[in-house]
Amino acid sequence: MEIGLYTFADVGTDPVTGKKIGPSERLRNLVEEIELADQVGLDVFGLGEHHRSDYAVSSPAVALAAAATRTKRIRLSSAVSVLSSDDPIRVFQQFSTLDNLSEGRAEIMAGRGSFIESFPLFGYDLGDYDTLFAEKLELLMKLNEGERVTWPGGQHTQPINERGVYPRPYQEKLPIWIAVGGTPQSVARAGVLGLPLALAIIGGEPARFAPLFDLYRRAAAQSGHDAAKLATSINVHGFVGETTVEAADTFYAPQAEVMNRIGRERGWGPTNRDHFDQSRGPRGALFVGSPAEVTDKILANHEVFGFSRFLIQMAIGVMDHAKLMKAIELLGTKVAPEVRKATANKSR
């Protein structure tokens, strides 16, 4: 069982203190967070790609490279790379560079993108949302197979005639995960391709998403892959505090500010403390509480999903850096050891 973190590196105004956090300060804090996650024994740290004024990371590989030489064992992943609006060759080269800097700890988590700003920014048509991803993912996988590449080109990619792509990864191949938000077609595609699956669950009742893992494993098996050997992850929101009250009070204000701001853009109804408290209950999507409570909730969901990796986004919105560092410490020293102990030999 792997336990880790992911973040989008929010910038803006702390809703509790009123302090403004810009990209420079947030990125420097981010490197400290990754360094601490490594020191306390967490397995993975992922950074999401965004092209908005409220997030500091538009190039995950660059930010992860800043942490690569200050860490020793933690895996460094995008969460996600919006492959649809990027060049697969450049993505491969960037993460191969990161892989060499980190001596084999880089991963790519590829997704179609839950935000759409990158499409008009780089000149892509949202009408091609799915075909862009499918074609570019196929090319990315081809690049990962060997040093010299021949590619016929397609609707969205150029032909390549026996060209070398460098640097090659430190690992034999870069791990490529598919990240999904609940679309069955995307889940099935990951299974057909035999790629690891990361499922984001940020609302509703997590157990209702379990059939997607069943679909993934069926699609993998029907395509000739050993589904039992494919890695799976759930990626959630949450926070660990010394006590339940401390965790909830620290996490609520920045999380609510983000969800309400994004919600206004997308037509969601406003959130409030009652909704928040309900969501952090046993069946809710928020993993917020004391180390024991978060551990129990992870284990309960592991019984339902059988995942091999659990990633939690604790830095949602702008929050106090010291409190976030303490939460990372608790996740690594209190939660992760208990989860690993309880799930040894149980992941499927």
Q: Tens of pLDDT along 47-81?
A: 999 999 999 999 999 999 999 999 999 999 999 99
> What is d(CA 208, CA 201) in angstroms, rounded to the nearest whole number?
10
Give the residue-averaged pLDDT of 222-250: 97
Give the residue-averaged pLDDT of 152-171: 97
> What is d(CA 105, CA 174) in angstroms, rounded to the nearest whole number?
9
pLDDT at site 317: 96
Q: Inform me whether the pLDDT recorded for 26 exceeds 90.
A: yes
The verdict on pTM exceeding 0.75 is: yes
* Residue located via tokens 């952090």: 280
pLDDT at site 346: 60
Identify how many contiguous H helices and E strands the chain contains and give both numbers.
12, 14
**Per-residue confidence band for 347, with pLDDT thresholds at 50, 70 and 90:** very low
Give whole-number Cα distances, 88 to 72, 110, 135, 259, 298, in Å: 27, 10, 10, 31, 34
> What is d(CA 185, CA 126) in angstroms, rounded to the nearest whole number?
18
CA quadruple 62, 66, 71, 77: dihedral, nearest 10: -20
Please tell me the number of Cα atoms within 13 Å of 342 on its side-chain side.
18
Rg (CA), the chain: 19
> What is d(CA 14, CA 20) in angstroms, rounded to the nearest whole number?
6
pLDDT at site 348: 44
- The closest of 160, 213, 211, 171 to 191, measured between CA atoms, is 213
**Per-residue confidence band for 113, with pLDDT thresholds at 50, 70 and 90:** confident
Tens digits of residue pLDDT in 270-298: 999 999 999 999 999 999 999 999 999 99
> What is d(CA 159, CA 166) in angstroms, rounded to the nearest whole number?
17
> What is d(CA 46, CA 315) in angstroms, rounded to the nearest whole number?
12
**Per-residue confidence band for 313, with pLDDT thresholds at 50, 70 and 90:** very high
Give the residue-averaged pLDDT of 212-218: 98
Fold (CATH) for 2-343: TIM Barrel (3.20.20)
- The closest of 294, 332, 257 to 45, measured between CA atoms, is 332
Give the residue-averaged pLDDT of 189-213: 97
- Per-chain mean pLDDT for the chain: 96
Pairing label, strands 160-164, 148-151: antiparallel
- What percent of the chain stands above pLDDT 70? 99
Contact criterion met (CB below 8 Å) for 31 and 74: no
User: Which residues, in sequence order, are CB contacts of 164 under 8 Å at separation 6+?
Assistant: 147, 148, 149
pLDDT at site 345: 65
> What is d(CA 222, CA 179) in angstroms, rounded to the nearest whole number?
21
Tell me the sheet residues that pair with 197: 178, 232
Q: Inform me whether the pLDDT recorded for 27 exceeds 60.
A: yes
Give the residue-averaged pLDDT of 174-181: 97
| Torsions phi, psi for 124 (to 5 deg) | -105, 150
pLDDT at site 114: 85
